[in-house]
């Protein structure tokens, strides 16, 4: 009887021990699961917060606007420069340029103009100091729509005593020699430049100029 009671007590003790171990194991498993859940939740929350920060940072970042360059306020043109430019343009108005040997019909003045040749160029070379400036003379042929051709000599200076005149009259216009290029040099004189000259003739409507003294006179055909 005593042996049976002891056996039953031992059996109960074993069952109690087994139950306690089982309960402890279940609690440990539940705690581990809770810890993992908490860790996972914390991680998710942290990631969410990080994502939020990144998103906020990406959204909140603004590229600074580049200001457009401002137009600088320009200074008004110099009055003297404007007057000089107007004077230059006015002086160039009515000027006809011809190369040596070139023929051109000038519609504005209704006449045919031919730069036949440069008959003289004793101008001081541009790289030499001279006592006298010298003179250049061009032979130019003019012919109007209802006139015969006429060859006139026009020079770079006015000197009646030597027969030079800068202006000749033809068909109601006073024609002035205003430019002769190129200039002579110590290396290239009149003979070297022959055939390469260009002249500028200015046409102005007006009364005929007095050209009673002519070097070489005029030639008609």
CA 80/CA 209 separation, integer angstroms: 33
Pick from 191, 190, 202, 150: nearest CA to 171: 150
43-52, 153-162, 173-182: least confidently modelled range: 43-52
Domain count for the chain: 2
Specify whether 112 is located in the same domain as 47. no
CA 154/CA 158 separation, integer angstroms: 9
Q: What is the pLDDT of residues 47-93, one digit of tens each?
A: 444 444 444 444 445 555 566 656 555 555 676 676 566 555 545 56
Is pLDDT larger for residue 171 or for residue 21?
171
Locate all alpha helices (DSSP H) within the chain, ordered by sequence. 2-60, 79-92, 190-193
Residue 81 in domain: no
Q: What is the pLDDT of residues 39-49, one digit of tens each?
A: 444 444 444 44
Specify whether 125 is located in the same domain as 204. yes
Average pLDDT score, the chain: 76
Is pLDDT larger for residue 201 or for residue 70?
201
Specify whether 116 is located in the same domain as 213. yes
The confidence score (pLDDT) of residue 207 equals 81
Residue 215 in domain: yes
Specify whether 160 is located in the same domain as 110. yes
Domain that holds residue 27: 1-52
Pick from 138, 139, 147: nearest CA to 172: 147
The confidence score (pLDDT) of residue 50 equals 46
> Residue 118 in contact with residue 180, Cβ under 8 Å?
yes
Residue 36 has pLDDT above 70, yes or no: no
Half-sphere exposure at residue 181, Cβ-oriented, CA atoms within 13 angstroms: 8
The confidence score (pLDDT) of residue 151 equals 97
Specify whether 99 is located in the same domain as 39. no
Residue 221 has pLDDT above 60, yes or no: no
Residue 70 in domain: no
Across-strand partners of 92?
none
Residue 191 in domain: yes
Half-sphere exposure at residue 42, Cβ-oriented, CA atoms within 13 angstroms: 6
Q: Which two tokens stand for residue 221?
A: 């055909």
Residue 69 in domain: no
Residue 159 has pLDDT above 60, yes or no: yes
Specify whether 103 is located in the same domain as 180. yes
Specify whether 107 is located in the same domain as 2. no
Residues in the chain: 221
DSSP SS3 for 18: helix
Specify whether 30 is located in the same domain as 118. no
> Residue 114 in contact with residue 140, Cβ under 8 Å?
yes
* Phi and psi, residue 177, nearest 5°: -80, 115
Query: What percent of the chain clears pLDDT 70, i.e. is strictly above it?
Result: 53
Residue 182 in domain: yes
Cβ within 8 Å of residue 17, ≥6 positions away: none
Residue 214 has pLDDT above 80, yes or no: no
Specify whether 130 is located in the same domain as 23. no
2-16, 110-124, 153-167, 196-210: least confidently modelled range: 2-16
Residue 136 has pLDDT above 50, yes or no: yes
- In this prediction, residue 102 has a pLDDT band, given cuts at 50, 70 and 90, of very high
CA 109/CA 105 separation, integer angstroms: 9
């Amino acid at each position: 009887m005593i042996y049976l009671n002891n056996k039953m007590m031992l059996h109960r003790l074993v069952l109690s021990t087994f139950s306690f171990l089982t309960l402890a194991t279940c609690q440990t498993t539940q705690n581990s699961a809770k810890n993992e859940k908490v860790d996972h939740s914390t991680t998710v929350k942290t990631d969410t917060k990080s994502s939020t920060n990144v998103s906020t940072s990406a959204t909140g970042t603004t590229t600074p606007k580049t200001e457009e360059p401002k137009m600088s306020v320009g200074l008004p043109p110099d009055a003297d420069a404007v007057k000089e430019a107007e004077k230059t343009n006015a002086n160039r108005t009515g000027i006809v340029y011809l190369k040596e040997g070139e023929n051109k019909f000038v519609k504005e003045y209704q006449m045919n103009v031919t730069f036949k040749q440069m008959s003289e160029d004793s101008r001081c070379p541009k790289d030499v100091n001279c006592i006298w400036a010298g003179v250049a003379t061009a032979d130019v042929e003019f012919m109007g729509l209802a006139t015969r051709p006429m060859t006139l000599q026009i020079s770079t200076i006015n000197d009646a005593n030597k027969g030079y005149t800068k202006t000749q009259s033809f068909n109601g216009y006073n024609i002035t020699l205003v430019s002769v290029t190129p200039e002579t040099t110590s290396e290239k004189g009149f003979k070297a430049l022959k055939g390469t000259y260009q002249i500028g003739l200015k046409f102005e409507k007006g009364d005929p100029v007095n050209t009673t003294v002519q070097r070489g006179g005029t030639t008609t055909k």
